[in-house]
Every structure is written in structure tokens, then in C-alpha cells.
Amino acid sequence: MSSQPKTSTLSSDSWTGGLLRVAIGVFAVVLIALAWFVATASPPPYKAGSTFGHNMGWVGGGMMFFMLAYSLRKRFRFLNRLGHLRYWFQMHMVFGIVGPLLALFHSTFRIGAMNSRIALYSMLLVAGSGIVGRFVYRHIHHGLYGRKATLAEVEQQLKESAESMHSVFGLVPTIGERLSGFQSFALSKLDGTWAQAWRFLILRQRGRSIARAARREAWLALDKMSREKNWSRYELSAQRRMVKEQINNYVEAIFSTATFATWERLFALWHIVHVPFIYLFFFSVIVHVIAHYMY
């Protein structure tokens, strides 16, 4: 193991990620508190039919209608000049979150007439389906807004992770045996749909358990090495972080390789279901608007 690990990038990334999580957490708490106030206040601070509530509904509905632009951008080549597809997808994701939130605040979290109920329920169905799709999407793409990955790329990442583990295997040989057993379990071919589905469901949890055990073994060996080489506390901590990252990346690479084909199938099935939900939502919103102005 090297005694001069590179830790500045890791520290910067961890700080950035930590601040982002805190910001998202604070925003979520404020949003929930505001929603609770609007839903429980008597009388409510505004009505769905008031100017404020009405405009909020138009903006939220407009955002969700404009989400269709992403599908148009994907399908028609003459729209390529209007910007990179990645930015259209970012807009699609943001509007898919903000739009339903505005629609919920527009309704003051109260169920009205039948046409309002149908519009609200179909909107929630589309938003929930979008959240599921986002979860599946990230398993087969390079980042949230990146291009679609290929199985060859995932397998190459596994190969590179395995090569980076030589120093860890040299530190504690039993770690290599443990992780090799997990890789064999994850990548072996199974007969029967139920057996494959069960492995898919438990694979990540088993990988995390094995990674924890491997980290404990590695850290015990590092503690011993630290006493022998008289490392400082900073050096020991840096070595621990480096080993943790290597083990976690290797286990994650095994998981990604073993489950990539399944995530691809799930994403294809999700897309078949999600599109009809969108059409149902747009139809219900049109009916809701017409009923509002007629009655």
C-alpha cells in the first residue's frame, strides 16, 4: 500500500456531496411544512379558483405539457439544432418534479369535483411513474443525464476495478477469496426465472454485507501495518478511505455487470407503461380545464 494517497479530490467530492444533501434535506423540510400549512389551514390561504391558485395551476400544467417537448426532440431530427438532448432531458426531469408540485399546491391538497379528482390522480400516477423510471434509468446510463451505457463498458469497468484491487488482495488474501466468491455468485448463469429474480433482489444487500466484512479485514491489517511503519493518524485514515473506495467500487462493478441486462428489460417495460399514463394525464387535464370554464 502506498503511504502517500491522494485524498484532496475525495475530500472535495465528499464535502460537495454532503452540502448538496443538506440543501436538499432543508428544502424538503420547508416544502413539507408549507404543504402541511396549505392543506390544514382553515380557511386555506388561497383557493384553487383564486387568481393565485389559478395561475399556479396553469404554470404547473404548462410545465407538464411542455415535458412532451423532450419526446419530440428525440424523434425529429430537424429539432437537433435546438440544443443538446441532455439539456432537454434535464428540463424534462425538472418540469416533471416542479409541475406536479405546483399542481398539488394549486389544489390546496383538497379533492374537489370528479374531473378534478381524475386530473389529480392521473397526475400523481404520471409523477410516481416518473420517479420509478428515474430510479431504473440511472442503472443503465452514465449519470443522471448521461448517454446510455453498454454491457461492454460495464464489463470493462469491472475489469479495471478488479485490477485496482491487487494491492488490497496482497494486504489480506482472504479478501480476494471472499470477493471472488461473490463475483462467481453474481455472474453465474441460473436456470429458471424465479431463481434469477431472487438473486436480482438480494444481490445488492449481499454485496454490501460482503463489502463490510472485507473492509473490516482490510482495516485490521492496516492498523497492524500502521503500528509497524509508524504512520500518523492522518496517513492511516487516508489509507482506510482509499481501501474503502476500492472495495466499494469493485463490489458495485460486480453488481452493475450482473444486473445490467435486467435493468435494461425493466426500463423497456417501464416505458411501455409510462407513455399511456402521460396520455391519460393530458386528456384528464383538458377535461378538467373545459369543465372549469363551462361550469
Candidates 145, 136, 105; CA nearest to 123 is: 105
- Using left for φ > 0, alpha for ψ between -120 and 50, and beta otherwise, residue 150 falls in beta
pLDDT of residue 143: 64
Q: Cell for 69?
A: 417537448
- Euclidean distance between CA atoms 151 and 254, whole angstroms: 12
Q: Is 75 buried (19+), middle (13-18) or exposed (0-12) by CB count in 10 A?
A: exposed
pLDDT digits (tens, 9 = 90+) for 74-128: 777 777 777 777 788 888 888 888 888 888 888 888 776 776 777 778 888 888 8
| pLDDT for residue 212 | 94
* Domain boundary assignment for the chain: 48-147+271-294, 151-261
pLDDT at 259: 93
Tell me, what amino acid is at 250? Answer: Y
Q: Is there a contact between 103 and 61 (Cβ–Cβ < 8 Å)?
A: yes
Question: Cis peptide leading into 45, omega within 30 of 0?
Answer: no
- Tell me which residue of 281, 240, 274 sits closest to 103, measured CA to CA: 281
Predicted local distance difference test score (pLDDT) of residue 217: 92
In angstroms, the CA 176 to CA 150 distance is: 27
Which CATH topology does 151-261 take?
A: Topoisomerase I; Chain A, domain 4 (1.10.132)
User: Quick one: DSSP state of residue 147?
Assistant: P
Q: Which residues of the chain have pLDDT under 50?
A: 2-11
Nearest to 204, CA basis, from 177, 178, 186: 186
